[in-house]
Every structure is written in structure tokens, then in C-alpha cells.
Amino acid sequence: MSTTTVVDARKTPTAGMSVVLFLEKPEQAFCVVGSCIALTLYHPRTGHGALAHIVLPRSSDRTGPPGKYADTAIPYMVEALGKKGANCAGLVAKLSGGASMFGTSGPIKIGEQNAEAVTQLLKDLKIPIRGTHLAGPKGRRVTFNTQTGDVTVEVVGQPAETL
Amino acid sequence: MTELVSTAPDLMVMSHLFTAATENASEAMSRWTNGQITLSLEEVREVDLDQVSSELDVSDELLTMVVHHLDGELGGQLILTFDEQNGRHLAASLLKREICTDPEWSDLEKSALNETGNILSCAYMKVLTDMIGENLVPSPPYFIQDYGASILEQAVLAQAMVSDRVLVCRTNFRREGELLKWNVFFVPTDELLKKLTSTLESTD
């Protein structure tokens, strides 16, 4: 059992559940997800990016932090990045997570629903998905590097993959 | 060193409940480990969802875990976690062997930790069962290793569907007086939590 450490967690901003972090080149950030989705939006020309730790697919008129739900997080990220000069037309997306960690019953299926919701919303906004690392039974440690736009995904016991 | 439960309307009520459950679990753990391991409830409070990992000091650390489900409406999850060193130490102690250095856990080591989870969860559930008059039976345990925050996230998911805050009960584990890096996450469904709360309020 081994795992690669891409960044030092103590020194790198971390996106907790429902949190959206906005970054500028060459900053990086990370988050750890299970059934949640780690969504990155990146503007290669300006070097602006955002990392969201999305918990649930739909807000269904519930209140909460914008990063909690896919249907509130993505518009929030796009608008905020636009204000920084990173317009929607130039954004690319990468997403990882959506695991089914304890089995297949109850809220555990939410991982699959999260991935579907995020994918559809990105499609609606015509934001191209440049990489995915989804599903399976394991958690993921996701590191977003705005120097390159790379997203590195680590799974316990497996080599790290870069999207 | 922590338990995590869920959103709760009354911290005093929940504190009363989990003190009783912790005491029963502590007695069971003490018997199972020949008096070495005990538990005590330290505090009960609510935290925001986005602060759960940092408040509980669970991030990208690799943890060894024993998971139990409670099926049905009055359900939930109970997860016992250890870091590598503490998990290995416990397994070796229970098996009366030297601490294993093989990167892969043996079936015997996994079984020792699973049984520890069994004892802890049954002791917890016995107190809750007695309180609400409903039979709460934990599933057979299963052993997993993963990032602590990903397990925590999964555990609070059911509560995240109904609230942006969760209740945290901090519990200390000690081996012969020395604090251990163990955690218990107990997350009842909203229905079970309401049942526990209403039962306790009606008996006050």
C-alpha cells in the first residue's frame, strides 16, 4: 500500500466540502473526494482557474454555499472567472471523483449522479471536458496546478495519473 | 479521537446520549483489550460542512477503517479508523504477535480489526437500542484503506442532503492513559436522529 504525495497538504490551499477556490497562475490547490466531484475550470490563455468540491447534483431550491451543488457551483465559477477576464468560451474542464465507496445502496449512488449532473451542465455551457477520472470504489486526492492546467489524481495503492 | 454524528437540534440531549453510548463502548473495548483501551466523550458541537475535515483534523492522511452500516430508515454508519501505526499496533496486540512490517495487511490482521469494530459498534448500538426501543443491528464489518477525508465525506453525505452543518462529538481513545490516534465516525440517518432526540426529550 503506497501513495504518492504530489503537494504538501500543509502548505497548499485545500477545498473542503462545498468550497470553491479561485487561483491564478502559478498557484495550485488540492482536495480529497469520495463521491463528491472535484471540478476544475481553467483558462489556458489567462492562467485563471477554479477548483470546486461539489457535494450534490442539484440544489432543488435549497439554500447553501454555491459550491455545494453542481447546478449552483458551475454558474458561480463561470461568472467569477469571467469577472477576472477568463471568459466562458475559453474555459476547459476536468473532473474527478464520483466514487461509490461503501457499496451501492442509499446515498452512496450520489457519486454517479454527481458526475452525470456536472457533465451535463458543462455540456449545456459548451465548456469542453479535457479529462475525467470518475467512479470506482476509492477516494481520490486531486491536485490542480494553474501553471500548466494539469490535474493530478492519486488513488491509494495506484500510481498517480495526470489529466 | 472523534465521533461525528449529524445535524442536531439539542447539543445537551446529544451529549447525554453519546456519553452513555461511549461509556458502554469503553467498557466493551476495555474487556476486549485486557484493560488497555478506553474511550471518553470530550465535547459535542456543530460545525459547518466545509470545515468538517479541518475541524476533525482528517485530510489526505491514509487511514485504515472498519465500516458498519445500519440498514433501514433508522439507519446510519459507524466507522472506526486508525492510522497505519495504531492499526498495526492494535492488531499485533490482539494477536499477541510482533508488529507486522509487510505493506499488505494479512487476513488475520484485518480480522482482528474487524472484530474490534464489531465490539465497539455492538456496544454503541445496544445503548441506542435500549433508549429508543427499536432494534439497531450493525452490518458485518468490512475493512478498507483510503484517504481519511474521502471516508469522512462519504459518512456525512446523508446529512449534507438536509443541512449545511453537522454535529461533532469528540471522543478520546487512550491506551493505558496515553492518547491514541483513533477515530469513530457515527452518522445516523435523519430519521434515526429524530427518533433518538424525541425519545430523550420525552424521558427528560
Contact A102 B50 (CB under 8 A): no
Residues of A in contact with B148 (CB under 8 A): 32
- Collapse the DSSP code of B19 into the 3-class scheme (helix H, G, I; strand E, B; otherwise coil) and give the result: helix
Which residue range forms the structural domain that includes residue B116? 2-203
Higher pLDDT: A74 or B46? It is A74
* Selected catalytic residue, list A15, A36, A121, A142: A36
Query: Between vectors from CA B71 to CA B70 and to CA B75, what angle results, nearest 5°?
Result: 60
User: Which CATH number covers residue B41?
Assistant: 3.40.1550.10
Q: What is the pTM of this model?
A: 0.84
Residues of A in contact with B75 (CB under 8 A): 106
How large is the average pLDDT for residues B40-53? 80
Q: Give the DSSP letter string of B136-173.
A: --BPPPEEEEEEHHHHHHHHHHHHHTT-SEEEEEEEEE
Residues of B in contact with A2 (CB under 8 A): 103
**pLDDT tens, A67-111?**
999 999 999 999 999 999 999 999 999 999 999 877 655 555 789
The whole-angstrom separation of Cα B51 and Cα B55 is 6
**pLDDT tens, B102-114?**
888 899 999 999 9
How large is the average pLDDT for residues B113-129? 88
pLDDT band at B177 (very low <50, low <70, confident <90, very high): confident
Closest residue by Cα to residue B180 from B18, B26, B37, B24: B37
Q: Is the pLDDT of residue B4 over 60?
A: no
Higher pLDDT: A146 or B154? It is A146
Higher pLDDT: B116 or A119? It is A119
Percent of all residues in chain B with a pLDDT value above 70, rounded to a whole number: 93
Contact, A163 vs A133, CB < 8 A? Answer: yes
Write out residues 61-100 of A within 8 Å (CB-CB) of B. Answer: 63-65, 67-68, 99
Give the pLDDT score at A102: 72
- Number of domains within chain B: 1
Handedness of CA A77, A49, A122, A62 (dihedral sign): negative
Residues 6+ apart with CB under 8 A from A158: none
Give the pLDDT score at A131: 96
Residues 6+ apart with CB under 8 A from A93: A39, A40, A41, A42, A122, A127, A128, A129, A130
| Averaged confidence pLDDT in chain A | 89
Residues 6+ apart with CB under 8 A from A112: A98, A100, A135
Sheet with strand A129-134: strands edge to edge: A20-24, A48-54, A37-43, A92-97, A129-134
How large is the average pLDDT for residues B92-99? 86
- Which candidate in B6, B146, B152 is best for mutational testing of the A interface (most A CBs within 10 A)? B146
Give the pLDDT score at B110: 92
Give the pLDDT score at A21: 95
Total number of residues shown for chain B:
204
Total number of residues shown for chain A:
163
Contacts 24+ apart (CB under 8 A), B35-39: B36/B93, B36/B175, B36/B176, B37/B90, B37/B173, B37/B174, B37/B175, B37/B180, B38/B173, B38/B174, B39/B171, B39/B172, B39/B173, B39/B174, B39/B184
Contact A1 B49 (CB under 8 A): no
Residues of A in contact with B154 (CB under 8 A): 34-35, 101-102, 108
Domains of chain A, earliest start first = 20-162 (3.30.1330.200)
Whether A142 has its CB under 8 Å from any CB of chain B: the answer is no
Smallest CA–CA distance, residue A32 to chain B, in Å, is 6
Residues 6+ apart with CB under 8 A from B101: none
Q: Is the pLDDT of residue A5 over 50?
A: no
When mean pLDDT is compared across B5-9, B128-132, B192-196, the lowest value belongs to: B5-9
How large is the average pLDDT for residues A131-149? 94
ipTM score: 0.84
